[in-house]
Amino acid sequence: MTLLDKDGVHLAVDGAVATVTLTNPAKRNAQTPAMWRGLAEAGRVLPGDVRVVVLRGEGAAFSAGLDRQAFEPEGFEGEPSFLDMAREPEERLDSLIAEYQEAFTWWRRSDLITVAGVQGYAIGAGFQLALACDLRVCATDARFAMRETSLGLVPDLTGTKPLVALVGYARALEICATGRFVAAEEAERTGLANLVVAPEELDGALADLSAALLAAPRDAVIETKALLAGAASRTLDEQRAAERAAQGRRLRDLVGLGD
């Protein structure tokens, strides 16, 4: 069932699995503010019974990053160009970037597990969109790169925190500062990718992983995701307490004493 199809974003739902697809293959799914609003809307209209969201890019590339038209003086019709944004007051500029970041934020919701299926290029904003998901399954031709610094910019679409969490500070700094490509083999070796498969096996691998993620009871998965997501910011004693509280909720629920 299709719930959204506009601005290069298609959302379809099949039971507990939703698929969000970037649908501008002629531009290698280059991203625009309109696409970001479409991605944010996809998160808002997602049915409550969806448990797994798969993110794909149509065509040969997952997403080649920001549409370079954003750097032209005219920008996109009805949108501020980057040159226009630079002239905005600080508060307005901050507000615009925060609005764009919404497209990259909802993928981390505790009630969902999100999976990016990456083929071909995932550059800049494309890399950060893949990083917004909980898991990444990559084809052997996947190529990641963070090119913002080469443009005199920084990665600002929520990708810096998950990149450091996945590969460590030193490697993350080197990847961002050099803008080099990270191939699929390195992505798997360093923890950036959970699984690498042949391009023709990507659809099947995503379907198999989605089915496996649905096997356990939903509330147990939600509690477990929350425990793992917060672990890095807690002390051991705080994490032990969080585990006890979560297990207490699960036990009470299993015997019918939950809220």
pLDDT for 226-256, tens place per residue?
999 999 999 999 999 999 999 999 999 999 8
Single-letter code of the amino acid located at 206: L
d(CA 41, CA 36): 9
The answer to whether the CB of 220 falls within 8 A of the CB of 250 is: yes
pTM: 0.95
Q: What's residue 259's pLDDT?
A: 67
Cα 107 vs. chain centroid, distance in angstroms?
6
CATH 3.40.1550.20 corresponds to the domain 2-213: no
| Ordered mean pLDDT values, 10 residues apiece, the chain (259 residues) | 96 98 97 96 97 98 92 80 88 94 97 98 98 98 96 96 97 98 98 98 98 97 97 97 97 86
Q: Is residue 127 classed exposed, middle or buried when 0-12, 13-18 and 19+ CB atoms within 10 A define those classes?
A: buried
d(CA 115, CA 211): 12
- Tell me which H or E stretch contains 131: helix 125-132
Angle between helices 33-45 and 90-101 (to 10 degrees): 50
d(CA 127, CA 160): 10
pLDDT, tens digit, 9 for 90 and up, residues 162-173: 999 999 999 999
Contacts of 205 (CB under 8 A, 6+ apart): 117, 137, 195, 197
